[in-house]
Amino acid sequence: MRRSTLLTRALGTCVLAATATAMALVYVRSTKPAPRLDLVATLAAAVVLTAAWALACRSAPPLTAPTPASPAPARDAATPPIPSRLPALTRDFGRATGTVLILLAPVTLARLAMRGSDLFGAILYLLVIVITYKAVRALSKATSQRGDRAKLRVLIKDAAEGEVYAIRVRAGRPLHLRYHERGDGPGKLRTTYDNCLALFDARGREVPLIADRAELARAGAVLADSEGWLLFALRHKLIEEMQPAAFVADRDGTTLLGLTPPDSSYRTATATAQKPLPTSRDRATRPVPRVAKFRLPVHGQIAAGALVAALLYLPMVLIDRSELSGLIAYPLALLAGAALATGVLRGVGETMDCLLKDTEWSVREEWDPEIV
């Protein structure tokens, strides 16, 4: 993994801006006949910026655990206080923007393929809009973290108000759990996956801290084998199911916010931590460092699909609508959409493999007792 730098973030933003501009220009009515050189120039800029972003990400400094500025304290040294100011919840606007642009691409291709007052084109365009809208709604519902973020805000507020439950833990490696169970059909096996940061209390009991997979990979690079506080909400009994928790490393205050199963939370918060502990405003915290997002197996395939799609719709940009038949334009738009979808699906399919290679994970296999 490589650290996120000002250059990687700036180039990534420029890539998204150039892509969004190229898509927006499709809806701008031009008074000049084809070729639409403004569209071609914007697409070319997006390609060049993507290559520059990839190069900047590949040359960024690696993400490693911070080196202490002073020798490690003795074991009997004072334990760092519990911080009252936990890192604010953040959103990955780059990934969200990229996802929105990909979802809107079919609509843009359908609009570009329309031939003037073509009735078939208008019906097709409206159909694509409806399908895209439903896809956006379904994806938004499936990936919504509103409930999880609301729970984490309770913990953040409790810490700010002065008291939380907390225990001392040691961070292990990120854990990739594969759970095998009976599948839907005869002789079929279904495997589900879970990911967490394994934390261990003074008695060696494991407390899993569940967070976003990409954040867990980053945490594994900087938090593994470090000691710190594991914080639980003071109002944990007013929260159903998964409980909010935060691991704060002693070394530099790096903090991972996440969720933990109720049995772990109630057991540690009510048994090990007999009473709430005060928090201190003198302790600083920081979020897990961000990384440069480019991964060749993921973004390379997405970029390849987007490039093929752009080449396929070039004729619709370079040839005037009155001269390019719909019998050519619509198949080109369909092929462009298929190329983009193929690249995206293949790239997304490589995400977990890339995360597993980013840092050292502990892999655990578990089986349903009924099939063992």
Split at pLDDT 50, 70, 90, the class of 259 is: very high
Inside any domain, residue 79: no
pLDDT of residue 5: 92
Q: Which residue has the higher pLDDT, 229 or 122?
A: 229
Q: What percent of the chain has pLDDT over 90?
A: 36
Tell me: pLDDT of 343 over 70. yes
Q: Do 155 and 286 lie in a common domain?
A: yes
Inside any domain, residue 197: yes
Q: Do 99 and 168 lie in a common domain?
A: no
Q: Do 56 and 171 lie in a common domain?
A: no
Inside any domain, residue 81: no
> 316: Cβ–Cβ under 8 A, 6 or more apart, which residues?
112, 113, 324, 329, 332, 333
pLDDT of residue 342: 94
The average confidence (pLDDT) of the chain is 86
Inside any domain, residue 47: yes
Q: Do 242 and 337 lie in a common domain?
A: no
The Cβ-side half-sphere exposure at 254, using a 13 Å CA radius, reads 22
Which of 245, 271, 290 terminates a domain? The answer is 290
Inside any domain, residue 132: no
Q: Do 111 and 173 lie in a common domain?
A: no
Distance CA 121, CA 127 (A): 10
pLDDT digits (tens, 9 = 90+) for 293-327: 899 999 999 999 999 998 888 888 888 766 777 77
Domain count, the chain: 2
Q: Do 17 and 42 lie in a common domain?
A: yes
Q: Do 317 and 271 lie in a common domain?
A: no
Q: Do 206 and 111 lie in a common domain?
A: no
pTM of the model: 0.82
Q: Do 166 and 284 lie in a common domain?
A: yes
Please report the beta strands in 95-212, taking only residues with DSSP state E, as ranges in sequence order: 163-182, 189-201, 206-209
> 33: Cβ–Cβ under 8 A, 6 or more apart, which residues?
320
Q: Which residue has the higher pLDDT, 69 or 40?
A: 40
**Whether residue 35 has a cis bond before it, omega within 30° of 0:** yes
| Domain encompassing residue 120 | 6-64+91-126+296-349
pLDDT of residue 252: 87
Inside any domain, residue 83: no
Inside any domain, residue 322: yes
Q: Do 35 and 160 lie in a common domain?
A: no
| Cβ count near 329 (within 10 Å) | 22
Q: Do 317 and 260 lie in a common domain?
A: no
pLDDT of residue 362: 86
Inside any domain, residue 49: yes
Which of 223, 258, 290 terminates a domain? The answer is 290
Q: Do 166 and 98 lie in a common domain?
A: no
